Amino acid sequence: MSSNEKLVITGNLTNRRSFLRNSAGLAGVALSGTALLQALAACGDSTATPGSAGATTSAKIQQAATLQLNWIKNCEFAGIFLAVDKGYYKDEGIDLSLLPGGGQIDSTTVVVSGSAQIGIVSAATTLLASRSKGTPLVAIGSTFQKSPGALVTKASSGINSPQDFIGKKIGIQNTARISIETILKLQKIPMDKVTLVTVTSDPTPLITGQIDLLTSFSTNQPLTLKDKGIEPKVFLYYDLGFKQEADVIFTTEDTLAKRPELLEGFMRATMKGWEYTARNPDEVAELVVNKYGEGLSLGQQKAQTKAGLELMYSDLSKEKGMFWMNKEVWDMTNQTAIDSGIITAKLDLNKAMNFSVLEKLHGKKA
């Protein structure tokens, strides 16, 4: 990163960090080379000519912008850190500051307050829930085509189906409460049949038997358990009926209307960062661990990067382009949010989702 490039990292970083420490030697998750190359070919190769997307840094006036992440600094955002390091945002005329998430930080609240112009939210339902309360938030792209949100337990626990959740202690973070309550309703499990225990994302309570299941990302805690010699069993929210996209990129209606060039430049640079990461996952994981993260295990982060990349591509995104949003999946998410009581009335997805930036980025219509 050049000496005049600005990267501001602040916020509560205590959550989810401790369990990432001292996790060396993790066997990486295999990434399908053929599938990945096909996906990249379909999405275009913007990393082949890094300066082709716009004028050079010196020719563009730098406009300040802030991105609120939904989690701590790790390889969940590998493509973004790579784009910062390579100067892709600078190339787009963007002086980008990053605010990490974690703890009780709610990215929707930060963006609504104006402290950040762009945010990432872990689950589409969180954005819908916020919008149902009158906030002017709008999704402009989805990083993960299939949410990695999951419940993880030890394979030796005897928990083999959702009905086995009954009578068990489920460790949750406050930000995951909506998701767990929704899944229990979808699986017709009364709330009083389980015990919800507020924990961090550190899997230690699961390892020691204080809880039976833990809310997690399939790209994260299960890999840490494997590294510690514990075979995990993973229940994806998606497979439990809670279908949604994740790490949704969003902004406000006002920013979308007044600063479309900022959003287009941000998305173009971010796409280039992720395309580079897809081709060089180990290299980028090392960059994140050594330069941006704190207390991260290189082996675990390499595996997490590759596992996350697998979730970024679907048949639709291969056809339309990276970050494309699936209207059918969002419609199912919308209905699930009603059925589970997250929202009281179906939201107008034509207002909650906006494809104008993606259309400009990929030259295709929604």
Q: pLDDT digit string (tens) for 86-110?
A: 999 999 999 999 999 987 789 999 9
Shared-domain flag, residues 261 and 122: yes
265 occurs within a structural domain: yes
Q: What three-state secondary structure class fits 153? A: strand
Q: How many distinct structural domains can be found in the chain? A: 2
- β-bridge partners, 249: 120, 141
Shared-domain flag, residues 344 and 297: yes
Shared-domain flag, residues 64 and 143: yes
358 occurs within a structural domain: yes
Q: Are 100 and 69 in contact (CB under 8 A)?
A: yes
- Taking only the tens of pLDDT, the chain with its 366 residues reads 443 333 433 333 334 443 333 333 333 333 444 455 455 555 555 444 333 344 444 457 899 999 999 989 999 999 999 999 999 999 999 999 999 998 778 999 999 999 999 999 998 999 999 999 999 999 999 999 999 999 999 999 999 999 999 999 999 987 788 889 889 999 999 999 999 999 988 899 999 999 999 999 999 899 989 888 999 999 999 899 888 999 999 999 999 999 999 999 999 999 999 999 999 999 999 999 999 998 899 999 999 999 999 999 999 999 999 999 999 999 999 998 898 888 999 999 999 999 999 999 999 999
Q: Are 356 and 264 in contact (CB under 8 A)?
A: no
Tokens of 114: 């104006």
CATH code, 326: 3.40.190.10
Tokens of 128: 């819908």
Shared-domain flag, residues 320 and 254: yes
Shared-domain flag, residues 179 and 211: yes
Q: Are 302 and 310 in contact (CB under 8 A)?
A: no
Domain hosting 273: range is 18-147+245-362
Q: pLDDT digit string (tens) for 337-356?
A: 898 888 999 999 999 999 99
Shared-domain flag, residues 36 and 107: yes
Tokens of 140: 């402009």
Closest Cα partner for 94 from 77, 108, 80, 105? 80
Tokens of 97: 């500051």
Kindly report the backbone phi and psi dihedral angles of residue 96, in degrees, each rounded to the nearest multiple of 5, phi listed first: -95, 130
Is the full-model pTM beyond 0.75?
Answer: yes
